[in-house]
Amino acid sequence: MACSYDLQHWTDWTGPDLIQSSEPYDEVFAHKSFVVKYMGVVYHFYCGVDKKGNRGIAVATSKDLGKSGLSY
């Protein structure tokens, strides 16, 4: 991960992992991420892959916004 204030100068993240797998739908991979902050909440959209090879778009948030009942 890298961060930028101006989208021209970037700083690589060298600290501990910011998130870890916490759901069956991202047990294998969580990749192709996109992070945006909107109205004080950080949204981390990513492609999650489970052990059966199913893929789906997932979102993690910095604020608890509830949990979807949808699954593969």
Name 42's Cβ contacts closer than 8 Å, sequence gap at least 6. Answer: 35, 36, 61, 62
CB 21 within 8 A of CB 29: no
41 phi and psi, to 5 degrees?
A: -115, 130
Global pTM reads: 0.67
**pLDDT range class, residue 29, cuts 50, 70, 90:** confident
Cα three-residue angle 67-49-19, rounded to 5 degrees: 60
Give the pLDDT of residue 18: 66
Give the pLDDT of residue 65: 92
Give residue-wise pLDDT tens across range 43-63: 989 898 888 989 988 888 888
Give the pLDDT of residue 70: 78
Examine the pLDDT at 14 and tell me if it is beyond 80: yes
